[in-house]
Structure 1
Amino acid sequence: MSAEEQVQLEDFGSIFSLEGKVAVVTGGSRGLGLHAASGLLQAGCSKVYITSRKAQACDEAVAALNALPNKRPGAVAISVPADNSRMDELDRLVAEVRRTTDRVDILFANAGATWGEKFDTHPESAFAKVMDLNVKGVFYLVQKFTPLLTSHATRDSPSRIIITGSVAGIGIGALGENATFSYSASKAAVIHLAKNLAVELGPRHILTNAIAPGFYPSRMASGLIEKRGGIKALEEFSPNLRLGRPEDIAGLVVFLASRASGHINGAVIVSDGGAVLKGRL
């Protein structure tokens, strides 16, 4: 093959475009999910369904997303509140999405919960709640959305599943008085689940990958950030001297949803500036 032939890349100018794609974002009413939803809309998605447990939070997120000035003409965010830890609610979520689309191209399984408690008193009810949402809920979310994910998928245009893990599922999470045993175990489990789903669903033209964020300032992370010494201490600990920003997570999710990631399946991408490589603060 000549050099002239080798420099020809098919439609490279739009390789990150999500023009016309349909996305569902769980845990999409705030934090990482809302950052990612904004990125998906601005990258060209025609519909982005926002779901989380609280209806008011979903409605507020959708109103903010629909006010974005640079989304494609006619693009819309849609609120579908649901409790992702309950099977009947997942069934209702899928049914609600089906009312306005016959396809889902991108499923961002981002809903999650945590619990901080020392080892000796860590309650069984909290452990079960975290595992039900963070692991079992993800599996059945994927299972129930698979018919919509496969409806328009092809080998050369596969659908995408993106699962939110955590660096706590790769390294060691919080210990001590506010230990997150259930959260850390759940994130390790869901990362491994993503790898199993990648092999199971790849032949059905669905690519599955996981992301493992480190500290991103958010309401969910704020308490733990303070217990680790605050934002400044965590920034100084990180090799790139900062914490995550909204554009970091949005860009990563858009990349994994786009043609640019068309040969990535079963991967786990850490987004923490390299902090997990240094161990615990």
Structure 2
Amino acid sequence: MNNFFSVAGKVAVVTGGSSGIGAMIARGFVENGVKTYITARKLEQLQQCAAELSLLGECIAVQSDLSTMAGVDAFADDMLKREPEIDILINNAGATWGASVEEFPEAGWDKVMDLNVKSIFFLSKRLLPALRLAGNADEPSRVVNIASVNGITHPRMDNYSYSASKAAVIQMTRHMAADLRPTHVNINGIAPGFFPSKMTKHIMDHEQDIANGLPARKTGEMADIAGTAIYLCSRASNYVCGHTVVLDGGQVANAG
């Protein structure tokens, strides 16, 4: 039973890794001995985050724009040149859009779907050779897709493309896991509730009210998301396949 939760010595890629949940997961990995690549679109913020995390371990910044197929391909080509074997892929990069049904634009639909769903599928596809090389029957490589409780229950917000995209991520996680687990690539997901991030900054003024409405009486912290990601990427979760862990302080359970 020793080292069941160890991820030391592994190589990880975290998309959207310069802020919010991505940065929380990246820090957890770096502090636990994972060589961690973080990628995001904004170079200055990305480099700043990598510099801070490099004080704790090994973190490398690689700029990308995963909202287009050209960007996905360019990033995948770069990673495959850098790392022939990749143990962990965290598909976290995402976007949201808010508007009423009557006003919701096609651009807001396509932007969110392209980044939140399409990029996950095609980046995972492109990195499969490196993931398969890293995995074996006793210790498969890992893909963790970041979904959301908004893909499970009514969001109570006008974020239609976001909630639809996250529901798609949950189903895609099941589908891909069943097909790829025999090739030593294990896929699971995490559906976070309220965590401080750029996507929730518009309601941060109400954080305490949100916390008071949760059974846990608190919003998510770095240890919560990083710990769950580490579990899903360690030997302890070898037999967990195709599931999405709801990490929400009881929000979904309390939804009725």
Q: Which runs of 4+ in 1 moved over 6 A?
A: none
Structure label with greater radius of gyration: 1
Instruction: Measure, in 1, the Cα distance between the counterparts of 2:129 and 2:80.
Output: 11
Q: CA deviation at 1:225?
A: 4.5
Partners of 2:203 and 2:105 in 1: how far apart? 19
Structure-2 residue corresponding to 1:8:
none
Of 210, 227, 237 in structure 1, the residue corresponding to residue 213 of structure 2 is 237
The alignment status of 1:35 with 2:11, answered yes or no, reads: no
Task: Name the residue aligned to 1:181.
Answer: 160
SS state at 1:163 partner: strand
**1:147 paired residue number:** 129
Once the two structures are TM-superposed, the CA of residue 232 in structure 1 deviates from its matched residue by 1.3
Q: Which amino acid aligns with 1:215?
A: F
TM-score normalised per structure 2:
0.97
Hey, what does 2:7 align to over in structure 1? 18
**Kept in 1: contact 2:80–2:127 (CA 8 A):** no
Count of residues in Structure 1 that have an aligned counterpart in Structure 2:
256
State the AA in 1 paired with 2:166. K
Which amino acid is the alignment partner of residue 221 of structure 1? T
Alignment of 1:202 onto 2:190: no
* Residues 49, 80 of structure 1: 8 Å contact kept: yes
Determine helix, strand or coil for the equivalent of 1:107: strand
AA of the residue aligned to 1:118 = S
- Residue type of the partner of 1:204? T
Residues in 2 aligned to 1:214 and 1:251: alpha-carbon distance in whole angstroms = 15
- Measured against aligned partners, the alpha-carbon deviations of 1:6-43 in whole angstroms (never above 9, x if no partner) come to xxxxxx22111112100000000101000000111122
Gaps of 5+ in 2: none
Give the alignment's TM-score, normalised by structure 1.
0.88
For 2:117 and 2:29, the matched residues in 1 are separated by: 24
Deviations 1:151-184 (A, max 9, x none): 1311111000000000000101133xxx000000
What does 1:118-267 correspond to in 2, within 5 Å? 118-175=100-157, 179-226=158-205, 230-267=206-243
Partner of 1:65: 53
Distance (Å, rounded) in 2 between the aligned partners of 1:143 and 1:34: 23
Q: Aligned residue for 1:9?
A: none
Distance in 2 (alpha carbons) for counterparts of 1:263 and 1:94: 28
Sequence identity (%)? 41
- Residue in structure 1 matching 2:64, options 82, 96, 101: 82
Query: Structure 1 residue 100: deviation in Å?
Result: 2.5
Across the aligned residues of Structure 1 and Structure 2, the Cα RMSD in angstroms comes to 1.2
